[in-house]
Amino acid sequence: MTITPVHFRPSSQLPEHSVLKGPEISKPSAREVKGALPASQQTTFGSTRKRADNRNAELDSNSRRPTDTTRNRSALESEEAEPQWTLIRKPRAVDSQSAAPATPGNLRKSGDSQMALRVAQALRLGESTGSVPERIENIVPTSTFGQWWAHLHEGMQSPFFLHWAATKKLDLSKPVQFCANAEPPQRDYLTGMVGGKRTLFLASDRDNRWALDPIMQAARIISPTVGTTNLFESPARSTSAPYKVVANFYGERIDPQSREDMGYRATRLEQANAFVNLPPTDPMRSSAARSEEALQETRNKLIENHDTHQLIVQLTDILQRSKERAIVFKRRVELPVSDSEHIQPAQLENKLSQAITSDVSSTSLTLHPQSPWRALYPDSTTKLGTFISENGWLAPNSDDALTSLVQAVTQPALATPPQGNLGGALSWPIPLNDADQSSVLDAITQNGLGIGGLPSDKKGVLNYLAHNLKLTQEERQNPRAALQALLATPKAQALGLALERKFKGFSNPDSIKDWTLAALGASLDQPKVATSRLNRVRTRVAGFNLARQGHWGKPAATVVKGLISHLIANRSISAAMAPAAAHLLLSRRAPEFLVKDIPAQVTYGSHAWMNLTTAVARIEAQAPGASALMTFSQVLARATTSPITVREQRMDYAAQRDALVDWGVVNGLMPVRADDGYTDAQMSTVSQAFSHQMAELSTASKAYSTPLPDRKEMALKVLKQAFGDSVPFEKKMHYGLPPES
């Protein structure tokens, strides 16, 4: 799989829409209206892209941070270069049908009390008959169970789930069974009847995930135990549920009981008028996981999926019409020039693009009744083009752009590891600059933190923290696990806290680790300047040149081993901690080297390596650290979609340029420059050479896949043309000579 880069253009020649401008009118955007809504009513499209906006600074110089070292993260995040509007129009008041009010805690508590009595009644019946009833009727809608059960029922009736079921030919007239909280977790599934056979659908599969995620999330809460006991059927009605599902939800026994036991438990429930108080930290029934806030979050996901489905339906319809229109237009190109319907070949693409733009701007989109986007519009519908614009997406004007937008909004969110790309404060939206990093290291080495035993060498932070650290065998084999063990030590936590206080940083659950990681990264990555013309700043990590000539044509593993050896020899880092140090550095500076299962033939400087580095850069811009959890094939599969925002477009352009520079240097088309300061003419030459090589490789690949001519097939073709298909040419037959007369 290859990614063909766009033809290189200097920034001054980028399309006008790729340069951020201020608004021409004082108008609130959709994301501002969403920001003005209560948090419980907010939904987000493209969650991974939103995280990227919160994690990465804009590329242009206007977004660079001030040089002061005072750190307030909430303030920093508000300084991003995103244009700001003054909110001059508040969201309209929403009635009971457009937003579900938060259920007061006392109503939920009262509902749970009533459910306790429902269970007690079932136990009384069991005491009398020897077995509890199969189902409990009249589920209290305000109870905790009733709310989650109704949410699951609503999810099963949602358009996006019904559409998914139709594509899978799932018979919804028959019971659908859920198995949530499976072991391992990624094996959660549902089963249903397809063609008369019960069929299993994994929730984690790519083509199932976008439709099943909000439903399976509710199923995990409703059936909180692990194993086969959590298998249950989907709700046919929100007012009726199996007894075992209700009992399991509230922590009641679901195994067979004696009549005496059922009577005793019924008495206790009637006296207490409540279920047993579960500990807040119950791993399967935590109060936070089933809270009203958590419920609203899953409802928001359901709302988002509804609007996403409507978007996909309309985009897919426009795409289909565009393909049909292309067939008609191409026929018109072949008409005589004198024909009034004739289209000039040079105008074909432009007319197709104009038709798509017209379809997008004129198509209506129906929103969910509780969608926060409705605060922008007078009724339940809006124009598709308006909705796309308010989400910050580029307006699609081609079949490829339509396809990319559909893929982007349906692909699963990228998984990110703890602490992301391990840059800590060096990877904040406005990161610590070189002066800040120097101040951090000075505070450590000059004992400005009030901690005893700190190193006097700016390169010695890792050795200080790792002293006497005992790693398990698993941690020794997993660099990221070793780093997590290091960050959990009292010394690492004390260092991070002292730095946070020293530089007056804003405190949050990750801030202490962010400061510790920043100290580690700044310490390991010394010196901060290029040591020679051949040692580029961008490709140099801890004084080690990843792009040195000895690495050209070598696999990624060779380069990583070289960095590890360099850290041992030149940083006096132990052999046990050197892989972790290399992982920390590469995760932020060159994450392409950490992708799993890179084929040995994908070597540094090859066209395949350029494709990989470009794809990784796009992933890291959306979710820092995510590419280290992905395989080579997963990375390239993710890169098949084109950028859908101006920001992504600009970052994609920058990533392609860096990769193209490396390719050009390795292939002898440009000299090495420490500052990567190449002219537009040089980059244009390299871009043309790369495109030419890709075209040659494509031609060779097609030729290689073309089957060789077969003489037998050629002979049979000629014979059949001459004598027809009725003669059995390949049948072995003996024709005797005619008898002599």
Q: How confident is the model at residue 185 (pLDDT cuts 50, 70, 90)?
A: low
Please give the single-letter amino acid code of residue 357: T
Q: How confident is the model at residue 242 (pLDDT cuts 50, 70, 90)?
A: very high
**311 assigned to some structural domain:** yes
Confidence at residue 544, expressed as pLDDT on a 0 to 100 scale: 93
Same-domain status, 282 and 363: no
Same-domain status, 119 and 267: yes
| 9-23, 150-164, 474-488: range with lowest mean pLDDT | 9-23
**33 assigned to some structural domain:** no
Same-domain status, 309 and 230: no
Same-domain status, 300 and 259: no
Highest mean pLDDT among 47-61, 195-209, 292-306, 343-357: 343-357
pLDDT in tens, 493-538: 999 999 999 998 878 888 999 999 999 999 998 765 444 445 557 8
Same-domain status, 321 and 376: yes
Is the preceding peptide bond at 184 cis, omega within 30 degrees of 0?
yes
pLDDT in tens, 441-471: 999 998 888 888 888 888 889 999 998 899 9
- Residue 352 structural domain: 291-413
pLDDT in tens, 317-341: 999 999 999 999 999 999 999 989 9
SS3 686: helix
Same-domain status, 141 and 280: yes
**441 assigned to some structural domain:** no
**Which two three-digit tokens encode residue 713?**
């097939």
Please give the single-letter amino acid code of residue 151: H
Residue 188 pLDDT > 90: no
Number of structural domains the chain divides into: 2
Q: How far is it, in rounded angstroms, from Cα 659 to Cα 147? A: 51
**32 assigned to some structural domain:** no
Q: How far is it, in rounded angstroms, from Cα 60 to Cα 137? A: 61
Distances from the Cα of 387 to the Cα of 310, 587, 645, angstroms: 11, 36, 14
Confidence at residue 183, expressed as pLDDT on a 0 to 100 scale: 60
Confidence at residue 101, expressed as pLDDT on a 0 to 100 scale: 53
| 522-531, 608-617, 674-683: range with lowest mean pLDDT | 522-531
**122 assigned to some structural domain:** yes
Could you tell me where the DSSP H helices lie in 372-525?
Answer: 384-390, 399-410, 434-445, 461-466, 473-477, 479-487, 490-502, 511-524
Question: Which of the listed residues 269, 288, 307 is the one where a domain comes to its end?
Answer: 288
Confidence at residue 270, expressed as pLDDT on a 0 to 100 scale: 94
Question: Which of the listed residues 248, 272, 288 is the one where a domain comes to its end?
Answer: 288
**389 assigned to some structural domain:** yes
Which sign does the torsion angle of CA 572, 577, 579, 583 carry?
A: negative
pLDDT in tens, 372-429: 887 777 777 889 999 999 889 999 999 999 999 998 888 877 888 999 999 999 999 8
Could you tell me where the DSSP H helices lie in 183-291?
Answer: 206-222, 243-249, 259-272
Q: Which of 62, 65, 80 is nearest to 436 (CA)?
A: 65
Q: How far is it, in rounded angstroms, from Cα 43 to Cα 26? A: 24
- 343-360: burial string, b at 16+ Cβ within 10 Å, e else: beeeeeeebbbebbeebb
Same-domain status, 134 and 282: yes
Dihedral, CA atoms, 393, 73, 437, 650, nearest 10 degrees? Answer: 10
Whole-prediction pTM: 0.71
Same-domain status, 237 and 378: no
Same-domain status, 310 and 393: yes
Confidence at residue 582, expressed as pLDDT on a 0 to 100 scale: 96
* Cβ atoms < 10 Å from Cβ of 629: 17
**109 assigned to some structural domain:** yes
Indicate the burial class of 47 (C-beta count within 10 angstroms; 0-12, 13-18, 19 or more). Answer: middle
Q: How far is it, in rounded angstroms, from Cα 368 to Cα 52? A: 27
Q: How far is it, in rounded angstroms, from Cα 429 to Cα 146? A: 42
Same-domain status, 343 and 225: no
Confidence at residue 54, expressed as pLDDT on a 0 to 100 scale: 43
Same-domain status, 160 and 277: yes
* Cβ atoms < 10 Å from Cβ of 317: 12
Continuous segment of H or E residues that includes residue 105: helix 105-129
Residue keyed to tokens 């395989």: 631
Q: Which residues contact 380 (CB under 8 A, 6 or more apart)?
A: 366, 367, 369, 374
Highest mean pLDDT among 132-136, 183-187, 641-645: 132-136
Question: Which of the listed residues 395, 413, 431 is the one where a domain comes to its end?
Answer: 413
* Cβ atoms < 10 Å from Cβ of 14: 14
Q: How confident is the model at residue 75 (pLDDT cuts 50, 70, 90)?
A: very low
177 - beta bridge partners?
Answer: 191, 233
Please give the single-letter amino acid code of residue 438: S
Same-domain status, 148 and 162: yes
Work out the percent of the chain whose per-residue pLDDT is above 70: 80
Residue 60 pLDDT > 50: no
Residue, of 531 and 59, whose pLDDT is higher: 531
pLDDT in tens, 688-740: 988 888 787 767 666 666 666 777 777 878 777 877 777 777 777 655 666 66
**166 assigned to some structural domain:** yes
